[in-house]
Chain A
Amino acid sequence: MIHTNKLTKTFTVKKETVEAVKGVDIDVAPGELVAFLGPNGAGKSTTLRMLTTLLKPTSGSATVAGVDVAKDPAGVRARIGYIGQGNGGGHSYRVIDELIMQGRFYGMNTTDAKARAETLMASLDLTDLAKRTVIKLSGGQRRRMDVALGLMHSPGLLFLDEPSTGMDPQNRANLWEHIMRMREEHGTTIVLTTHYMDEADSMSERVIVIDHGTIIADDTASRLKANLAGDLLAVEVAAGSASEVRGLLGRAASEGDMEENAYDGVVRFRLRLAQGAQLAPGLLKEMHDAGAPAQSLELKPPTLDDVFLELTGRSLREGAEV
């Protein structure tokens, strides 16, 4: 569905050249759900804008839905749907009018466009707002309208740029319900950008981590976490048996890094453990056999933030602040 070859974008700002995207190679198969994850300014949106023909690549090439973005941008636009970061509805327009015109822009006739608009409004809870002007809608309502605009022509490939930014959890859940349903029914290929790692984690099957204009990881969320981060294990033992445990845990810890804190006659060890859930029971038994039983245990599965931290040495959370 998407194939890029060394796709690059450089901007010139005050005679200084900024490389926003540095030669990325991306392949997306039909039906995939892919998230571009990275901090603000990483190059996610720039990549998406090149794929949707809103920006011309500086070098490299991209084929989207079988069409070359440089040779036939209009052909690409006719085959895709795009939901941008901003609100797509014109301020003074009525919701229903904008939806119908959007269908007309994509070559639907008025009857089809009207029927499609009615269906989408019903499923996105917009029916009662059909004749309201966009400026009178709340933020969540506008975002739902953006989704309706993007789905009017039932695109086989849908791009979403930060779809849920600024939405409350309820609306975010609703939005995802619609996207997932559309995908189940029509096998739509979906590419989105997000800086919410929980969203990338729970919703997409494949996560492409982008930082400083380069792809630094590309895999399923679970494999990224298992391979790159590992679980976080915290064990407490009595201070007297700390020396027996130190060696035992130190050998198990990935890359041997382990922290320990002593307080109130207890020593707390914290370590990263690849496949911690599988290894923890064995470790507990070994500690018991060594005469140093654990007093408490905490096992935390890794997040994509841990993955990002492992890859870049920075936290995605810090980068996500605007």
Chain B
Amino acid sequence: MIEQAVAPGVALQKRGPRSVVTDTWFVFWREMLLPLRDPFSLIFSLIQPLVFLGLFGPLLGSAVGAPAFGGQSTLQWFLPGVVVMIALFGTSMTGSNLQYELMTGSYERILATPLSRSSLMIGRALKEWAPLVLQGLLISVVCIPFGFIFHPLHVVLGLVILGIFGIGLGALSYALALVSQNKEWIFWGVQQTLLFPLMILSGIMLPIEAGPGWMKVASLFNPLTYLVNAERELFAGRIGMDTMWGLLAAVVTAAVGLVVGIRTISRNTN
């Protein structure tokens, strides 16, 4: 016997102004079930940044002279860049998990529920950002013995700004997956083609000050540049203009991403 657990239409009672927040939480939680049920993926994601930091950091110090780092230690300069890079790689992948669900009926099933459209994107983007909180704190702590000065509150603020940025990038990645439906290679092509220039032109890997003038100019038009600068300032334990510019860049990215994402979702139902 299939018992009626709730009266029909019960879903109506809980729809209120809070629904975007609660919907986002549900979407986020469903996504989080994947790594939680399979914690191995989390362990690998924790090791990765350490490997990168441990192998690339020393080369960077000796290849580029100390003056390019503005008087900071290589580690102090490079670590926030690695954190931004993880955020960039993680949240730009938001659409790739969606691709699998587009191929089965899973995405459509969720689209037919009362969940708000923006929560579908925000929840998924935040899932890609969530491991970053662990990763960021872990690599900061691990680097303390090597001369890294850890300012916990500044780092947490830095991670929040990256979360806001991640919502925007995640929503764009989500929209890209919808647009490239049935042509999955387009998703990867576009994602990879945009990711690397953005990354290099933001000074994540190597100081942009060491490059030619045109690169410096190009970097000014890259929102990621402002994020990297903000993270460097915050990880150094200061809150100044760079942080403000970074926050602004994050908010603008989030707004643009959500507008593009919601338009793409509704165009897909036309």
Please list the residues of chain A having a beta carbon within 8 angstroms of any beta carbon in chain B: 52-56, 74-75, 77-80, 82, 84-94, 97, 101-102, 104-108, 112, 115-116, 119-120, 123, 146, 149, 151, 153-156, 178, 181-182, 185-186
Binds A, one of B60-68, B99-107, B190-198, B233-241: B99-107
The 8 Å CB contact of A91, one of B100, B108, B114, is B100
Say yes or no: A106 contacts B112, CB within 8 Å: no
Please list the residues of chain B having a beta carbon within 8 angstroms of any beta carbon in chain A: 1-15, 23, 26, 29-30, 33-34, 37-38, 100-101, 104-106, 108-116, 269-270
Say yes or no: A149 contacts B109, CB within 8 Å: yes
What's the A-B contact tally at a CB cutoff of 8 Å? 133
Say yes or no: A88 contacts B106, CB within 8 Å: yes
Which of A85, A101, A115, A123 gathers the greatest number of chain B CB atoms within 10 Å? A101
The 8 Å CB contact of A154, one of B4, B30, B38, is B4
Say yes or no: B113 contacts A116, CB within 8 Å: no
**Chain A hits for B2, CB < 8 A:** 119-120, 123, 151, 178, 181-182, 185
- Measured in the bound complex, the distance between the Cα atoms of B30 and A149 in whole Å is 14
**Chain A hits for B14, CB < 8 A:** 107
Say yes or no: B6 contacts A112, CB within 8 Å: yes
Say yes or no: A79 contacts B9, CB within 8 Å: yes
A-B contact pairs, 28 of them (CB 8 A): A53-B112, A74-B116, A77-B112, A77-B114, A78-B9, A78-B12, A78-B114, A82-B109, A86-B104, A89-B104, A89-B106, A90-B30, A90-B101, A92-B34, A97-B30, A97-B37, A101-B30, A102-B113, A104-B29, A105-B110, A105-B113, A106-B113, A119-B3, A123-B1, A156-B9, A181-B1, A181-B2, A186-B4
**Chain B hits for A84, CB < 8 A:** 105, 108-109, 112
- Measured in the bound complex, the distance between the Cα atoms of B34 and A94 in whole Å is 9
| Closest chain B residue, CB of each to CB of A119 | B3
The 8 Å CB contact of A101, one of B5, B7, B29, is B29
Which of A53, A107, A119, A178 gathers the greatest number of chain B CB atoms within 10 Å? A107
Say yes or no: B106 contacts A54, CB within 8 Å: no
Say yes or no: B105 contacts A101, CB within 8 Å: no
| Closest chain B residue, CB of each to CB of A82 | B112
Say yes or no: B8 contacts A105, CB within 8 Å: no
- Measured in the bound complex, the distance between the Cα atoms of B33 and A74 in whole Å is 26
Which of A53, A90, A116, A123 gathers the greatest number of chain B CB atoms within 10 Å? A90
Which of A92, A106, A151, A182 gathers the greatest number of chain B CB atoms within 10 Å? A106
**Chain A hits for B116, CB < 8 A:** 74
The 8 Å CB contact of A54, one of B6, B13, B30, B112, is B112
**Chain B's nearest CB lies how many Å from the CB of A198?**
24
**Chain B hits for A91, CB < 8 A:** 100, 104, 106
The 8 Å CB contact of A186, one of B8, B106, B112, B113, is B8
**Chain B hits for A149, CB < 8 A:** 109
- Measured in the bound complex, the distance between the Cα atoms of B12 and A75 in whole Å is 7
**Chain B hits for A123, CB < 8 A:** 1-2
**Chain B's nearest CB lies how many Å from the CB of A277?**
38
Say yes or no: B9 contacts A54, CB within 8 Å: no
Chain B contact residues: helix, strand, loop or mixed: loop
**Chain A hits for B100, CB < 8 A:** 90-91
- Measured in the bound complex, the distance between the Cα atoms of B13 and A22 in whole Å is 36
**Chain B hits for A102, CB < 8 A:** 109, 113
Asked whether A79 and B12 contact (CB < 8 A) given A56-B270, A101-B26, A153-B6, the answer is yes
- Measured in the bound complex, the distance between the Cα atoms of B109 and A108 in whole Å is 17
Say yes or no: B15 contacts A78, CB within 8 Å: yes
**Chain A's nearest CB lies how many Å from the CB of B118?**
12
- Measured in the bound complex, the distance between the Cα atoms of B106 and A86 in whole Å is 7
**Chain B hits for A85, CB < 8 A:** 105
| Closest chain B residue, CB of each to CB of A187 | B8
**Chain A's nearest CB lies how many Å from the CB of B239?**
38
| Closest chain B residue, CB of each to CB of A50 | B269
**Chain A hits for B109, CB < 8 A:** 82, 84, 86, 88, 102, 146, 149
- Measured in the bound complex, the distance between the Cα atoms of B102 and A181 in whole Å is 32
**Chain A's nearest CB lies how many Å from the CB of B266?**
8
- Measured in the bound complex, the distance between the Cα atoms of B183 and A274 in whole Å is 53
Say yes or no: A156 contacts B8, CB within 8 Å: yes
- Measured in the bound complex, the distance between the Cα atoms of B12 and A74 in whole Å is 10
| Closest chain A residue, CB of each to CB of B102 | A86
| Closest chain B residue, CB of each to CB of A105 | B113
The 8 Å CB contact of B11, one of A54, A90, A94, A106, is A106
The 8 Å CB contact of B115, one of A54, A86, A105, A153, is A105
**Chain A hits for B33, CB < 8 A:** 93-94, 97, 101
**Chain B's nearest CB lies how many Å from the CB of A167?**
15
Asked whether A108 and B114 contact (CB < 8 A) given A56-B269, A93-B33, the answer is no
| Closest chain B residue, CB of each to CB of A89 | B106
